[in-house]
């Protein structure tokens, strides 16, 4: 795959092996029938435990049987998975960065013992409930509440657009603890088989079709107080998870763009019109040149992010810049790749239009493009435009 400035030549052996394993997995297990899953609107559920056995969930965390690989290796994994489909990468992002990460970072020892090994192998599936019907870009306005009652909490509210909620065993639900002073946002581990929990599936998606999305309804759901994440309070809880996941998304977007590029390049050199391959026309070459340049500059940003994250210097605003840039890049370039494939480009036989439509979700979730613009604006001027 395109690596124009030889960034992969500087990977160490472990990183190369992880890249190769993930690439082979995607080649053999994802690509052959992802188009059919996309069309049917289903997730290849048999891959959930397979990806777990391979250590694809939260591999950058340590302990509890997790491999503890470096941040660049983690980024490479996300990149390869999204070259298959953003739905596959979303599965790994949600399970690893949005569910296992907060348990690992903010959970009690009992919570870690109870959940991390099973989530790591994929024997349990988790989901992350932040977004609500009336509160998307502004999660701080959330209405879901948890009220202490003896040694239990009673949860009420509804979450929507929750990746994997219909197949999840446990949900990390972010809610206002209304029985505490100033009603801080807290994280609650809610087993989905508790009375009062519903997880309806959202069926009419035209994007991210090979990924399961649903709601979480909470109707007087009682959970023991041991299910509260003890180590965090306030919006920084969910936001710190999102920083982890967005780091993976910045890499993943490069993966989908690279797959689009390779598909377009191969098509352009094979497809003949006017007596020769369409790749001989300057207009097509300009498209490839631009695509390759955009991918390469985004790739550089992703690599830099990994270095900063590895040494503990990464700021959330830097992740915002990379998520914003790389996803926009991938979305724009997927459209160009689609274009170059002519009529064939609109079918499930080729990946670009599938990536393109997935990227509409990626552009919107984990902070919309606009919201990341405002985050950068605030960082650059010191003035928040969204408060």
Ligand X SMILES: Cc1cc2nc3c(=O)[nH]c(=O)nc-3n(C[C@H](O)[C@H](O)[C@H](O)COP(=O)(O)OP(=O)(O)OC[C@H]3O[C@@H](n4cnc5c(N)ncnc54)[C@H](O)[C@@H]3O)c2cc1C
Q: Which of 3, 5, 24, 285 binds other proteins (CB under 8 A)?
A: 24
CB 101 within 8 A of CB 309: no
Using CB under 6 A as the binding rule, whether residue 365 contacts ligand X is answered as yes
Output 13 or 387, the one with its CB closest to other proteins.
13
Q: Which of 137, 233, 240, 348 binds ligand X (CB under 6 A)?
A: 137
Closer to ligand X at the Cβ: 240 or 269?
240
Contact present, 278 and 287 (Cβ < 8 Å): no
Closest distance to ligand X from the beta carbon of 130 (Å) = 3
Q: Which residues of 116-150 are buried (b: 16+ CB within 10 A; e: fewer)?
A: bebbbbbebbbbbbbbbeebbeebeebebbbbeee
Q: Report the nearest approach of ligand X to the CB of residue 368 (Å).
A: 3
Under rule CB under 8 A, which residues in 36-75 are in contact with other proteins?
53-56, 59, 65-69, 73
Does position 242 interact with ligand X (CB under 6 A)? The reply is: no
62 binds, among ligand X, other proteins, none (CB under 5 to 8 A by kind): none
- Considering only residues 70 to 109 of the shown chain, the ones binding ligand X according to CB under 6 A are 94
**Alpha carbon distance, N-terminus to C-terminus of the chain:** 43
Gap between the Cα atoms of 239 and 38, Å rounded:
30
Q: Least distance to other proteins from the beta carbon of 67, Å?
A: 4
Q: How far is the CB of 114 from ligand X (least distance, A)?
A: 21
Nearest C-alpha neighbor of 96 from the set 38, 28, 185, 164: 164
**DSSP labels for 250-265?**
HHHHHHHHHHHHHHHH
Q: Which does 213 bind (CB under 5 to 8 A by kind): other proteins, ligand X, none?
A: ligand X
State the Cα torsion 334-335-337-341 to the nearest 10°: 140
Active site residue 118: no
25 binds other proteins (CB under 8 A): yes
- Judge contact between 155 and 175, C-beta under 8 A: yes
Is 370 an interacting residue with respect to ligand X (CB under 6 A)?
Answer: yes
- Subset of 241-280 contacting other proteins (CB under 8 A): none
Task: Establish if 33 lies at the interface with other proteins (CB under 8 A).
Answer: no
The three-state secondary structure class of 207 is: coil
Q: Work out whether 14 is an interface residue with other proteins (CB under 8 A).
A: yes
In this chain, which of 60, 144, 326, 361 binds ligand X, going by CB under 6 A?
361
Q: Cα-atom radius of gyration of the chain, to the nearest Å?
A: 21
β-pairing verdict for 185-191 and 213-224: unpaired
Binding residues for other proteins restricted to 75-114, rule: CB under 8 A: 77
d(CA 51, CA 114): 20
Binding of ligand X at residue 158 (CB under 6 A)? no
Query: What CA–CA distances, in Å, run from 336 to 173, 210, 289?
Result: 39, 22, 11
Name the binder of 16 from ligand X, other proteins, none, CB < 5-8 A by kind. Answer: other proteins
Picking from 128, 41, 107, 158, the residue whose alpha carbon sits closest to that of residue 366 is 128
Sites of contact with ligand X (CB under 6 A): 94, 128-131, 136-137, 161-163, 208, 213, 361, 364-365, 368, 370-371, 374, 386
| Active centre residues (catalytic) | 366
């Amino acid at each position: 795959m395109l690596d124009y400035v030889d960034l992969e030549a500087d990977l160490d052996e472990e990183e190369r092996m992880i890249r190769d394993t993930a690439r082979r997995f995607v080649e053999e297990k994802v690509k052959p029938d992802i188009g059919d899953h996309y069309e049917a609107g289903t997730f290849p559920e048999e891959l959930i435990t397979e990806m777990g056995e391979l250590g694809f969930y939260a591999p950058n965390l340590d302990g509890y049987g997790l491999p503890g690989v470096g941040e660049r290796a983690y980024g490479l994994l996300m990149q390869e998975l999204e070259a298959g489909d953003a739905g596959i990468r979303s599965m790994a992002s949600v399970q690893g960065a949005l569910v296992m990460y907060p348990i690992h970072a903010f959970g009690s020892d009992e919570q870690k013992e109870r959940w991390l090994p099973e989530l790591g192998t994929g024997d349990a599936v988790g989901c992350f409930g932040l977004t609500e019907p009336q509160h998307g870009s502004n999660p701080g306005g959330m209405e879901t509440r948890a009220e202490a009652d003896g040694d239990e909490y009673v949860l009420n509210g509804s979450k929507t657009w929750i990746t994997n909620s219909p197949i999840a065993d446990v949900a990390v639900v972010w809610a206002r603890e209304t029985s505490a002073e100033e009603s801080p946002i807290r994280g609650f581990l809610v087993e989905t088989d508790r009375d009062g929990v519903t997880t309806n599936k959202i069926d009419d998606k035209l994007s991210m079709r090979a990924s399961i999305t649903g709601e979480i309804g909470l109707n007087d759901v009682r959970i023991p107080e041991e299910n509260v994440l003890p180590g965090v309070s306030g919006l920084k809880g969910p936001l710190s998870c999102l920083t982890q996941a967005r780091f993976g998304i910045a890499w993943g977007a490069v993966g989908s763009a690279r797959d689009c590029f390779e598909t377009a390049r191969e098509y352009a050199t094979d497809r003949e019109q006017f007596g020769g391959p369409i790749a001989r026309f300057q207009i097509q070459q300009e498209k490839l040149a631009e695509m390759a340049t955009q991918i390469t500059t985004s790739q550089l940003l992703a690599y830099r992010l990994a270095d900063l994250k590895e040494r503990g210097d990464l700021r959330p605003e830097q992740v915002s810049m990379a998520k914003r840039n790389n996803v926009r890049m991938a979305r724009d370039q997927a459209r160009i790749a689609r274009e170059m494939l002519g009529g064939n480009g609109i079918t499930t036989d080729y990946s670009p239009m599938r990536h393109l439509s997935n990227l509409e979700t990626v552009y919107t979730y984990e902070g919309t493009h606009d919201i990341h613009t405002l985050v950068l604006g605030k960082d650059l001027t010191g003035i928040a435009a969204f408060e």
